[in-house]
Each structure stands twice: as C-alpha cells, then as structure tokens.
Amino acid sequence: MILVFGGTTEGRVAAKVLEESGAAYYYSTRSDTQDIQLVHGSHVIGAMEMPEMAAFCQEHDIRLIVDAAHPFAVNLHRNVIDLAGQIGVPVIRYDRIYQPHDQDLVWCKDYEDAIRQLGAHGVHRLLALTGVNTIAKLRDYWQEHECWFRILNRDESLAGARKAGFPVDHLVYYEKDDTASLIERLRPQAIITKDSGASGGFEEKVEAARQAGVKVFVVERPDYPVADGVSVAHVNGPHGLRRMVEKLLPEFYPLHSGLTTGTCATAAAIAATHRLLTGEEPATVPVVLPDGETIDVEVAYGDGYAAVFKQSGDDPDVTNGIEIRAHVEPGDRFEILGGEGVGRFTVPGFDFPLGEAAINKAPRQMMRDNIRENVRITISVPEGAEIARRTFNPRLGIEGGISIIGVSGIVKPFSEEAFVASIRKCMQVAKASGSDRVVINSGGKSELFVKSLYPDLPQQAFVEYGNYIGEILAIAHELDIKNVTMGVMLGKAVKLAAGNLDTHSRHTTMDKGFVMSMLHEADINIDISDLTLARELWERIPQEKLQDFATVVINHCNRYCSPLLPNGHLTILLITDTGTIYNS
C-alpha cells in the first residue's frame, strides 16, 4: 500500500498517476480544502503527528511513502523521514521543477536574512507573496515599513493574519488581482516570494516584477532532510514518479512503462558528450523530458560511443532491448546525424528533407535542450536495419533502419484491456468531478490545444482515449455523460471518418481512396497519389477550402460517433499540428 502526503499541485498529479494502476492507496491532506476526486484512493483528512502516522502505516501495511507536500513544509518533511526510518520503508520525494538562480534576483537563506537584505537595499514599500504563514516571520520588517501581504481569500487565512497582528487593510487576495496588477496598483519598491517552483507560479511573479522594474527578493527553499538508513528517491514529474513506483513497488502496476527511442538516444548523447568533455563515465545520466521533468537513465560505454539498451516496459515493442548508440565529437555548431541502422526519409511529407535521418523533431529538441555544447552527434542502431523490416517504416517511405521517435519521452504500456479499464476509471473521475462537460483527446498534444477553449474545466474533465474512440464514447453513454467534446487530429480523423472506431495502425491505415472522395465532396481538386501522411493535407489544400474540408471530415466522423452517445451531445473538433481548431 502507498501513502501520499499531498495537498499540492504535485499531490494532485501523484494521485492521478497512482489511479492509473487500479490499486488502492491513501492520500493524506491536513485539511479538506483541496478538491480532489479519487476512485481507487482513499482521502485521509487531518494533520497527523508522528505516533498517529506510525500507527496508520502499521494498520494499513504502508510499504512506500510519496512526499508530495509543499517544498516549505519543513516539519512535515522531517516527520516523513523520521517515519520512514521508524517503519523501514522507502520515500519518493515528488518535488517541483525549479529554475536556476538568476543573478538579478536577491536570494535570501531564510526570513531573518530576508529582513536584513531588505534593509540593506533600502526597501520601504514591499509586496509579500510568501503566504499567510510567513507574516509572523517578517514581523520585524512590516512593523517598521509599509508592507502588503497577499493571502488566500479564506476564513482560516484571514484569521491567521489577524492572529499575527497584521493590519487587515494591507491584505490583498489571490482571487482579485494577479501579480502584475497588484504591482501596478500598489507601486511597491520590491516583492518578496518563495522559491516555489513552476507549479507555484514563481516565474510568473518574477516576470511581472521585472516588467515593472521592481526588485525581487527570493527566500530559498530549505534542503530536504536526510537520515541514515532512509532511502529517498527524488522525482519532479509524473513519468519519473511512475517509473520510481514501478522500481520500488513493482507489483503496484500490472504493466510497467518504458522509454522511447528518442529518450534512449538523448541519454546516450548526454553520456557521450559528458565523457568527451570530462573523461568521466557515469552509470546513469539525467535526461530532461519534453514536459520539463528529469529522469535518470542507465547508460553503457563502448569504443568511442555511449549506449542505452532500450527498455519498453510491458509494451509489445519490436525495439525492446535494442542498443542505441551515440558517438559525439567536437563541432563548430550543434549537429545531429544518423548512422548505421537509423532510417532515412525517402518520400516527401515529413518535417525534414529527403535523405535526412529519421530522427523526429521531439528527440532532436530533447538533445538540443539537454546538451548545450557545439558538438556533432551521430546516432546509430546496430540492429536497426533488421528491426525496421518488422515496423511500418517501409510502408511510410523510411528506409534503411528504424526511426528515433517519441513525443513524451516515455512509453506507456499497451494492453487493450488495461488501457480501456484505465479510460473507464478516468471517465468515472471526470463524472465525479461535477463538470458539465468531458473533453476527450487522443493525447497530450491535442489536449493542450483544446484546453484553451475550456479554461474553466477542472483537470479531471480531460481524458485521453488513445485510439479507443468507440470504447470511450460507449463508456460516456454508460455513465450518462451528457456533453462530450472530442478533439481529434487529422491522422486519426480520416480513419474515423471511414468508420474505424479503433484507429490504431495495427488495425487500420489511411484509405486514400476515401480521402479522395471526401476531397471531392468538399469540392477540392488536388492530386494525393503521393500522399504519405494525412497531415500533409493541411499544406496541400488551398487555404480558403480548409474549413470546407474540415466540415466534411467532421460530418463523416459524426456519422459513426454520435449514435454511440444517443442521450448526449457530441462536439467534434478537428485540430491541426499547429493548434488551429476547426468545428463543423
């Protein structure tokens, strides 16, 4: 059993990650102010002291603790470490993503140091964004100078401010003003904030102050406690959390995740670059994924190269176990080349010219983001040419090897039964959230675009269907969900429009004859005899006819989808790769 200490954005994400397993766990918060819907998790509300924590863990057979509490919750972090040492279980610290310490900010070790530095810089008008619990810690400053505190608009926060003796007329609230408007209205000389990371809005606060020419003081986050005999694994994102749970408590997930070829190639390139620059050969290297989180990847070394042996987890992937190598040498600029076993584009329609190595945009960007040196990287896959014969690459016009791919950097395990069960759980959570609409998307990219249309919906209202369009609509009907919006990109849409409710490439491919019939229906006359990928159509169709074509595609999709939701209303949105959204 797993116990999560949450109450934060990270806690909410941790719960979502654990829900994917279908296994029971516990989610603990000090109060009931966080609105979170759990299907398999049990919400434990109320602060627990050490004896209560220990008794709870023993009673419920807790074998792993996830500490996803606020980075400044020092006492709780210490209690978690003491608890782990007492009952002999490992800890996963789910931390936030932090930016480097910019030199134009004034960094303070603690609040006492902040008061000293505010005085040294002659600050007499301050906007404090550090929260109600820090009012007492900054008392020596605000008793002598003009100061405003921004707090949550809650009775308990107001009571805390009054208890500390802070003047109520100098309180401002989150709900009414963002940082920029507060600075404009109050005209402080400086703001003070905590190093609260990306999810704490740190960069937004700093940028607002910079734009207004206001000095920024930052209270550094405290170090996470350590103790002899206590194993603590640090993660800062959902993929890393799942991988670490799979490692420390393997039975919690029925299927385990893996790494994309893009992540493997990036890790090998990082290791090879590190060896080139330092002569060192670390056994693992940190890789920053496209979502900004960092995971550690095991690497190996050979004569002139570093390598990663791909782990696909429980996904039935023909590339599982293959060796992906990176050879790195100094260069005049950053360059990525394809070597042995990496395919080449031989037909138009991809993001790169003919003859270019089939290393997709996301892995290239991952390498660029992780390696800040002018080097020439050559990726090779010794078994690539043989493996490629068992993939769709030849049909797509990629010859000579495999593709280096992966948008998220992580391979989620594929099992039709488990995936559909996961969709059902997510739809149940969406229903329980009380949202008047559920938005279903094929993946993270389409979800990101569609979210802009529904900014007020809770996160639980967005559910990924992968390829199982028919399944998710049937589940929506079973759960009596009345309003469903479906975001779909063109590759899946042209398959769906032809009546394929499961759009996985194992079951169906694009029917160019049917695509041509839809073009004729939209009164569009273009040659698609050499069409390789459906997304090429966005570039080939005249701009003034794009809406006509989108309408035809959506109408055909509706023909097969709407009957699956007989008691509800389905809205289908067709999305381009750049985020343009078409409705019928």
Q: What is the mean pLDDT of residues 150-168?
A: 90
Question: What is the CATH code of the structural domain delimited by 258-411?
Answer: 3.30.2110.10
pLDDT for 417 equals 63
Place of tokens 């176990």: 321
Q: What is the mean pLDDT of residues 54-78?
A: 93
Q: What is the rounded CA–CA span in Å between residue 558 and residue 536?
A: 23
248 Cα distance to chain centroid? 22
Q: What is the rounded CA–CA span in Å between residue 282 and residue 301?
A: 9
pLDDT for 474 equals 93
CB 439 within 8 A of CB 457: yes
- Specify the higher pLDDT residue, 234 or 424: 234
- Mean per-residue pLDDT of the chain: 89
- Where exactly are the structural domains of the chain? 2-97+231-252, 106-219, 258-411, 416-582
Q: What is the rounded CA–CA span in Å between residue 579 and residue 538?
A: 12
SS3 46: coil
pLDDT of residue 458 exceeding 90: no
Read off the pLDDT band of 25 (50, 70, 90).
very high
pLDDT of residue 418 exceeding 60: no
Name the percent of the chain lying above pLDDT 90. Answer: 60
pLDDT of residue 430 exceeding 90: no
Task: Dump the DSSP string for 72-137.
Answer: T-HHHHHHHHHHHHHHT--EEEE--------TTSEEESSHHHHHHHHHHTT--EEEE-S-GGGTGG
The model's pLDDT over 75-134, given as tens digits with 9 standing for 90+, comes to 999 999 999 999 999 999 999 988 888 888 999 999 999 999 999 999 999 999 998 999
CB 385 within 8 A of CB 338: no
pLDDT of residue 162 exceeding 70: yes
* Mean pLDDT lowest among 136-140, 279-283, 314-318: 314-318
Element counts in the chain: helices (H) and strands (E): 20, 28
CB 285 within 8 A of CB 299: yes
Which token pair is 524?
Answer: 């569009």
pLDDT of residue 138 exceeding 70: yes
Read off the pLDDT band of 360 (50, 70, 90).
confident
347 Cα distance to chain centroid? 33
Q: Is CATH 3.40.50.720 the classification given to domain 2-97+231-252?
A: yes
Domains 106-219 and 258-411 share a fold: no
Q: What is the mean pLDDT of residues 210-224?
A: 93
pLDDT for 38 equals 84
Partners of 569 in the β-ladder: 483
SS3 29: strand
Q: What is the rounded CA–CA span in Å between residue 411 and residue 415?
A: 12
Burial of 461 (0-12, 13-18, 19+ CB in 10 A): buried
Phi and psi (nearest 5°) for 411? -100, 120
Question: What is the CATH code of the structural domain delimited by 106-219?
Answer: 3.40.50.720
SS3 content of the chain, % helix, strand, coil (to 5): 40, 20, 40
SS3 350: coil
What is the reported pTM?
0.70
Q: What is the rounded CA–CA span in Å between residue 367 and residue 288?
A: 9
pLDDT of residue 507 exceeding 60: no
Phi and psi (nearest 5°) for 108? -120, 135
The model's pLDDT over 541-576, given as tens digits with 9 standing for 90+, comes to 999 999 999 999 999 999 999 999 999 999 999 999
pLDDT for 57 equals 92
Read off the pLDDT band of 426 (50, 70, 90).
confident
The model's pLDDT over 254-271, given as tens digits with 9 standing for 90+, comes to 888 899 899 999 999 999
- Specify the higher pLDDT residue, 328 or 397: 328
